[in-house]
């Protein structure tokens, strides 16, 4: 027997990876540059990243989306320890170019934060949609009941 990889699962992961890269790039660019054109470009890239997370959220189960959101929040909170120490300090502790480490940690922090926020928001939308659609039939029954006033 041949094991067949699901192309949907593979494309979902690719979509999520591209979204993460977009959000990381947008966050880093927006925090470093103070001119209008790069900020507008970073905003457009961030919108593309959020759209990617939204598309991913519609393709996976609520449990998968909840796990994803939790994972990105844990990753974000873990990365904040580097910010407490100082990104330059971390960059000096590791051999190589300090600026590359600072930029990379900054991009990872923004990417995890924005992806966690987007995944949590879309999870909230799905949960709200699940509860309102479950309550709707009961409300319709109550509204359509006729009361005998005899």
In this prediction, residue 38 carries a pLDDT of 80
**Residue 69: partners with Cβ closer than 8 Å, 6 or more residues away:** 116, 119, 120, 123
In this prediction, residue 3 carries a pLDDT of 52
In this prediction, residue 18 carries a pLDDT of 92
**115: how many CB neighbours lie within 10 A of its CB?**
29
Q: Which residues of 27-64 are buried (b: 16+ CB within 10 A; e: fewer)?
A: bbbbeeeeeeeeeeebeebbeebbebbeebbeebeeee
Percent of the chain as helix, strand, coil, to the nearest 5: 85, 0, 15
- Can you list the residues of the chain whose pLDDT is less than 50? 1, 5, 7, 9, 138-139, 142
In this prediction, residue 149 carries a pLDDT of 59
In this prediction, residue 71 carries a pLDDT of 96
In this prediction, residue 107 carries a pLDDT of 92
In this prediction, residue 89 carries a pLDDT of 87
> What DSSP designation does 147 have?
P
């Amino acid at each position: 027997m041949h094991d067949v990889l699901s192309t949907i699962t593979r494309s979902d992961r690719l979509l999520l990876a591209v979204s993460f890269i977009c959000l990381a790039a947008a966050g880093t660019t927006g925090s470093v540059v103070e001119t209008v054109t790069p900020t507008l470009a970073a905003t457009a890239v961030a919108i593309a990243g959020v759209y990617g997370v939204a598309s991913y959220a519609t393709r996976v189960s609520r449990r998968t989306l909840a796990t994803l959101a939790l994972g990105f929040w844990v990753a974000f909170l873990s990365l904040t320890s580097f910010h407490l120490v100082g990104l330059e300090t971390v960059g000096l502790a590791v051999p190589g170019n300090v600026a590359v480490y600072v930029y990379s940690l900054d991009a990872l922090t923004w990417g995890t934060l924005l992806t966690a926020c987007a995944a949590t928001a879309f999870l909230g939308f799905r949960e709200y949609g699940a509860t309102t659609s479950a309550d709707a039939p009961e409300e319709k029954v109550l509204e359509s009941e006729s009361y005998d006033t005899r």
